[in-house]
Homo-oligomer: A and B are copies of this chain.
Amino acid sequence: MSCFIDVLHESDFTIHNIPFAIISSSESQAPRAASAIGSYAIDLLALAQSGAFGKCSVLGNGVAARVFAEPTLNAFMALGRPAWREARAAIQAALSATGTSKLREDEELRQKVLLPLEKVKFHLPANIGDYTDFYASKEHATNVGVMFRGKENALMPNWVHLPVGYHGRASSVVVSGTSIRRPNGLTLNAETKLPEFKASRKLDYELEVAAYVGTGSKLGDSIAVGDAEEHIFGLSLMNDWSARDIQQYEYVPLGPFLGKNFGTTVSPWIVTLDALEPFRVAQPKQDPSPAAYLSAGSLDAYDVKLEVAIKPPTENTPPIVVSRSNLKYMYWSFKQMLAHHTVNGCNMRPGDLLGSGTISGPTPTSLGSLLELSKNGNEPFQLAPSVTRAFIEDGDEIVISGHCSKEVDGQRIRIGFGEARGVVVPAKSL
A interface list, Cβ under 8 A from B: 129-130, 135, 145, 148-149, 156-158, 161-162, 164-172, 174, 178-179, 181, 183-186, 193-195, 197, 219-220, 222, 243, 246, 249-258, 261-263, 291-293, 340-341, 343-349, 352, 425, 428
Contact = CB atoms under 8 A, between A and B. Distances in A.
Contacts of A425: 220
Contact of A166 (B161, B167, B174, B195): B167
A165 B318 CA distance: 40
B257 A158 contact: no
Given A158-B250, A165-B254, A254-B255, 7 more contacts: A130-B170, A157-B193, A166-B257, A246-B344, A253-B255, A263-B345, A345-B428
What number of copies of this chain does the assembly contain?
A: 2
B254 A256 contact: yes
Contacts of A345: 181, 183-184, 262-263, 428
A158 B252 contact: yes
Contact of A130 (B171, B185, B197, B347): B171
B292 A197 contact: yes
A167 B344 contact: no
A167 B169 contact: yes
Contact of A253 (B251, B258, B346): B251
B135 A162 contact: no
A291 B186 contact: yes
A163 to B, nearest CB: 10
A171 B349 contact: yes
Contacts of A167: 166-169, 257, 261
A347 B255 contact: no
A99 B297 CA distance: 74
A169 B252 contact: no
Contacts of A179: 220
A344 B262 contact: yes
A346 B262 contact: yes
Contact of A158 (B156, B184, B195, B219): B195
Nearest to A170: B130
A404 to B, nearest CB: 29
In the complex, which of the residues A135, A193, A428 has the most CB atoms of chain B within 10 Å of its own CB atom?
Answer: A428
A174 to B, nearest CB: 7
Nearest to A252: B156
Contact of A346 (B161, B171, B348): B171
B171 A344 contact: no
A184 B257 contact: no
A135 B251 CA distance: 13
B219 A183 contact: no
B170 A170 contact: yes
A427 to B, nearest CB: 9
Contact of A254 (B135, B246, B340): B135
A249 to B, nearest CB: 6
Contacts of A255: 166, 251, 253-256
A166 B343 CA distance: 21
Given A171-B129, A251-B253, A253-B149, A195 B344 contact: no
A344 B185 contact: yes
B257 A165 contact: yes
Contacts of A168: 167
B219 A174 contact: yes
Residue among A135, A174, A291 having the largest count of chain B Cβ atoms under 10 Å: A291
11 contacts: A129-B129, A158-B249, A167-B169, A171-B347, A181-B220, A181-B345, A184-B343, A185-B343, A219-B262, A258-B346, A262-B346
Contacts of A165: 254, 257
A156 B195 CA distance: 13
Contacts of A256: 254-255
A197 B346 contact: no
A145 B253 CA distance: 9
A161 B195 contact: yes
A123 to B, nearest CB: 15
A258 to B, nearest CB: 4
